[in-house]
Amino acid sequence: MRILKNTVQVLATGYIFVYFSEHLFWARVRPDDSLGGWFGAWVAYSLMAYVFLVLISHFRVRNIWALFLAGAVFGWIDEGIVVQTAYEMLPLSISFTGLAWHALITVWVGWYAMRKSLLSADPWLTLKLSAAIGFSYGLWAISWWTEPPPEGGVSSIAAFAAFSLLTSALVILAYWMADWSSSELFVPNRLAIIFISFVMALYFGFVSIPAAPVAAVILPVLLGLVYWGLRKNGLAEEEGSLLDTLGGRVSIWRYISMFTLPLVALLVYALAMALHLEWATNWVVYLIATPLGFILLGASFYILSRKKATFS
């Protein structure tokens, strides 16, 4: 049962990562999208999710600062190994999207804040958070109207509704699966860690570095700094991690209230189309989130560096 629930935890986390990192980012079905491509993305994100969960468990991540560093590892694996966007516009590309989107939005908001809200004593917190995310999602989605193809494009209201409702229904299912599987302690598998590390190292050496030679220097330095910060955290924390607290019995109404997210996004999207708005809202996000990613990274290092080691 433990192996089954650990696997479910990884797959559920993988889809939560896909939803916030891909579906919310692109906000529509792109011309080259396919079911096979989406499934492949889920598999890839699940492998990254496994690494993320191992970091949370091994380094006793209990606070948001260590969590941000674990999210940074996930973000840089995605943007620095799987694709090479982390090196396209240095140094800004170190933050956007690895820190400014993956660590901040996908991990802090999607994986942490949403799951905290589901377990909160406030029965309205999940609905309010979902509405806030949905409002931001709708504003972000209209930014693609101002971008040239193939990245940019305009989806009809019906197409956006179908895409956002379907992907949101799947992520709500993923949250339920994550909560169900959390009743079993997550125990990293040594063989799985070795296999995934080997595959990522091969990909980095034979694909990432030839595509962006500077990656051979930048990524090891970034991951080395994060290792130092996470190790400081692990030495200072008691046994256990967020994986022990982010899960439990959740009312079905909390999950249903999450549909506020796509419904609010659809309302914003439809209103913007009715008013013929052409706002480059992506630039607002870039200008705020990119420096914020660096600030939070620095704050995480500073706060964790001041923690005292324990020997309990």
Give the structural domain span for 197.
Answer: 2-305
**Does some domain include residue 48?**
yes
Rounded Cα–Cα distance for residues 244 and 260 (Å) = 28
**Does some domain include residue 311?**
no
Can you give the length of the chain in residues?
A: 312
**Does some domain include residue 35?**
yes
**Does some domain include residue 312?**
no
**Does some domain include residue 103?**
yes
Q: For position 152, what pLDDT does the model report?
A: 85
Average pLDDT (218-227) is 97
Cβ-proximal residues to 28 (8 Å cutoff; 6+ apart), any chain: 141, 144, 153, 155, 159, 160, 163
Measured between its terminal Cα atoms, the distance across the chain in Å is 30
Average pLDDT (33-49) is 96
* Least confident interval from 75-84, 113-122, 235-244: 235-244
Give per-residue pLDDT as tens, 87-146. 999 999 999 999 999 999 999 999 999 999 999 999 999 999 999 999 999 999 999 999
* Angle at the Cα of 300 from the Cα atoms of 199 and 103, rounded to 5 degrees: 45
Give per-residue pLDDT as tens, 254-288. 999 999 999 999 999 999 999 999 899 999 999 99
Number of domains in the chain: 1
**Does some domain include residue 310?**
no
Rounded Cα–Cα distance for residues 194 and 206 (Å) = 18
Rounded Cα–Cα distance for residues 173 and 179 (Å) = 10
Residue 301 CB-half CA count within 13 A: 13
Percent over 70 (pLDDT), the chain:
99
Q: Is the pLDDT of residue 304 over 90?
A: yes
Percent over 90 (pLDDT), the chain:
89
CB 50 within 8 A of CB 192: yes
**Does some domain include residue 52?**
yes
Q: What is the mean pLDDT of the chain?
A: 95
Q: For position 312, what pLDDT does the model report?
A: 45
* Angle at the Cα of 88 from the Cα atoms of 85 and 89, rounded to 5 degrees: 125
Q: What is the pTM of this model?
A: 0.96
Count of helices and strands (H, E) across the chain = 14, 0
